[in-house]
Amino acid sequence: MVSRIVPHIRRAWVVGPKNGYRQIASGEWIIFRSEKVWPQYLRWILVGDMFHAAFMQTVSGVGGSLLRARPAEVFKIKIPIPPLTEQKRIAAILDAADALRTKRRESLAQLDTLLQSTFLEMFGDPVTNSMKWKKFSLDDVCEKIIDCPHSTPKWADYGVICLRTSNLGKGEWIWDEIRYVSEEDYAERTKRGEISKDDIILSREGTVGVLALVDDGVRLCMGQRLVQLRTNQSILSPKFVLYILLHDLAPERLARLMAGSTSKHINVKELRSLPIIMPPLDLQHRFAAIVESVGKQKSRLRTHLTELDALFASLQARAFNGEL
């Protein structure tokens, strides 16, 4: 079965054995059943680029989450149906290639878990301060805490990168979609301070609890819903502060900083007063070196994952064109 509702289109599932239970699905799923098609082969068809392009032509509605594919039109989409033995062979190849991608994603997740556990082992829980470090407010240990301009950026086809919440992950940047502003708008949006290497950018509204450290050699300005932090590096390592904030702004600990009844956001005033532990600087630098080393490993894994994604896409296209 395949989801027919936006934004969950391109999700397909092979239903397992009943094992004595009733199996039901909501009307938001389109169910396919045929003795002529191997289920796992059909699943790869349903999530493939060619089927997806045709599938999106069947979508109707008024927009947003009200967009749905029309099952009667979906059933008209033509798909390649080779003999069952060939379907099984193709499905097995794609399963094996996808398993390699899954392993790389799991390795990346394990490295993130390693950093989190290393942080807690070296510094304890910063909320409970089990190691009794001295504590200061975030405002006391930052040279700058700058809220974003409260205006919509004037988007341009080229120029300076203007950050959005979608560019932030859990301690990393996401550059799937980049937007730009002109030099003039850049100057306007950085009146209170330009963004520099080792500044921390975090989201305060929408998707909260995502943040990243600014790299060297890149010019950036903030769009909306963001906050810029610049730590006092004579007392605090930026990478150390990044992981304190990743811990403190995790969903299970975020509620105390949240404000707003309809549009939830981080209260900047409360963010300024957030308690920050201050262990010895050399210990912070040791942790920063570990972050740097793990970051290099993650970069290699991401490169390999990108290559595996390209290989999988190629195999999928060749398979459904009868070339595999």
CA 281 to chain centroid = 31
- Shortest CA distance to 211 belongs to which of 186, 238, 187? 238
Instruction: Please indicate whether residue 138 or residue 19 has the higher confidence score (pLDDT).
Output: 138
pLDDT above 90: percentage of residues in the chain: 65
Residue 263 in this model has a pLDDT that exceeds 60: no
204-230 mean pLDDT? 92
Q: What is the pLDDT of residues 155-167, one digit of tens each?
A: 999 999 999 999 9
Instruction: Please indicate whether residue 264 or residue 292 has the higher confidence score (pLDDT).
Output: 292
Q: How far apart are CA 225 and CA 265, in angstroms?
A: 9
Q: What is the pLDDT of residues 73-90, one digit of tens each?
A: 999 999 999 999 999 999
| Per-residue confidence band for 8, with pLDDT thresholds at 50, 70 and 90 | low
Q: What is the pLDDT of residue 65?
A: 58
What type of residue sits at position 86?
E
18-41 mean pLDDT? 86
Q: How far apart are CA 137 and CA 274, in angstroms?
A: 5
Which H helix or E strand runs over 276?
strand 275-278
276-283 mean pLDDT? 96
Q: What is the pLDDT of residues 81-116, one digit of tens each?
A: 999 999 999 999 999 999 999 999 999 999 999 999
Q: How far apart are CA 139 and CA 271, in angstroms?
A: 8
Q: What is the pLDDT of residue 209?
A: 84
Which H helix or E strand runs over 52?
helix 49-56
Q: What is the pLDDT of residue 268?
A: 87
pTM over 0.85, yes/no: no
Which residues contact residue 147 at a Cβ distance below 8 angstroms, ignoring those fewer than 6 apart?
A: 204, 227, 268
Calculate the average pLDDT of the chain.
90
| Per-residue confidence band for 222, with pLDDT thresholds at 50, 70 and 90 | very high
Which string of DSSP letters, residue by residue, matches 139-169?
A: HHHEEEEEEPPSS---EESSSEEEE-GGGB-
Alpha-carbon separation of residue 76 from 51, 147, 166 (angstroms): 11, 52, 36
For residue 275 the two structure tokens come to 């308690």
Which residues contact residue 111 at a Cβ distance below 8 angstroms, ignoring those fewer than 6 apart?
A: 294, 297, 298, 301
Residue 233 in this model has a pLDDT that exceeds 80: yes
Other C-beta atoms lying within 10 Å of the C-beta of residue 259? 14
Judged by DSSP in three states, 267 sits in coil
286-300 mean pLDDT? 95
Residue 259 in this model has a pLDDT that exceeds 60: no
Domains (ranges, CATH) in the chain?
Answer: 2-81 (no CATH), 83-122+279-324 (1.10.287), 134-278 (3.90.220.20)
Q: How far apart are CA 245 and CA 240, in angstroms?
A: 9
Q: What is the pLDDT of residue 261?
A: 43
Q: How far apart are CA 267 and CA 260, in angstroms?
A: 9
Q: What is the pLDDT of residues 176-215, one digit of tens each?
A: 899 999 999 999 999 999 999 999 999 988 788 899 999 9
274-289 mean pLDDT? 96
Q: What is the pLDDT of residue 265?
A: 74
- Shortest CA distance to 247 belongs to which of 277, 227, 269? 277
